[in-house]
Amino acid sequence: MESVDILLDPVRVFLAQVGVFLPRLLIALVVLIGGWLLAKVIRFAIEKTLRALNFNVLTERAGMDGFLRQGGVQTDTSRIIGLLVYWLVILGALVIAFNGLGLTYITELLGRVVLFVPHVIVALVILAFGTYFARFVSETVITYARNIDLKDAELLGALARYAIITFVVLIALDQLAIGGDIVRESFLIILAGVVLAVALAFGLGGKDWAADKLERWWPSTRAPRSGRRPDDGDDLTP
């Protein structure tokens, strides 16, 4: 009889563990199903809200949606943000479910992903508003340059636009914590190299070109001196 009890003890322990695990598994499944339904509702609400605020019009005018289509992505920025929020809720539900099951390692990994997704959403919003602002500034510069009869207005507008876009991209990368100081320092090195190259071109090999550009942008309005001094040889005697 004792031998039978010894043989049955592992079975009892296993059944006890199963009895403890099954309710946790059931709760985890309920959490996942509820999180999935909540994610679909929130995604629908986010996309509708963004379109009601004309966020898709802003991203279209900013050029982000066109850039996505050129890359083969058949969607717009509003749907991408909605999809990111959808997966944020799903991942949150997974964290709760795995935490209830005692799977701490998976919970820590998913927790890091959950903390990263909001940064991606903020970076997309920064890019959307930043690129739209860059286009607005570019059009303003072009209009002003044309009103004052300044040559190469399109060139000046493009320089203003890409300068702002570069700054906005750096802010977005900093929000994502990608590269950190390396990205900023690399950008400063590249910018310093471009400025030095332009300065050398103006100072050494591009003097004539620079003079022509300066004359086109700021033409000289001084008339040549044509008057004569009284002592230039004229006979003032009566």
- The tens-digit pLDDT sequence of the chain (238 residues) is 556 556 666 666 666 666 666 778 888 899 889 999 999 999 999 989 988 888 888 888 888 888 778 777 778 888 889 899 999 999 988 888 888 777 778 888 888 888 888 888 888 888 889 888 988 888 888 888 788 777 777 887 888 888 888 888 888 887 777 655 666 666 667 666 666 665 665 555 555 656 666 666 666 654 444 444 444 444 444 4
**Residue 225 domain flag:** no
Same domain, 95 and 58: yes
The alpha carbon of residue 171 and the mean position of all alpha carbons in its chain are separated, in whole angstroms, by 7
**Residue 224 domain flag:** no
- Which structural domain range is residue 210 located in? 179-216
Q: Count up the domains in the chain and report the number.
A: 2
Distances (CA, A) of 12 to 7, 17, 18, 57, 63: 10, 9, 10, 64, 65
Same domain, 73 and 122: yes
Cβ-based neighbours of 221, under 8 Å, separated by 6 or more:
none
Same domain, 93 and 186: no
Distances (CA, A) of 122 to 58, 81, 85, 190: 16, 9, 11, 27
Same domain, 187 and 169: no
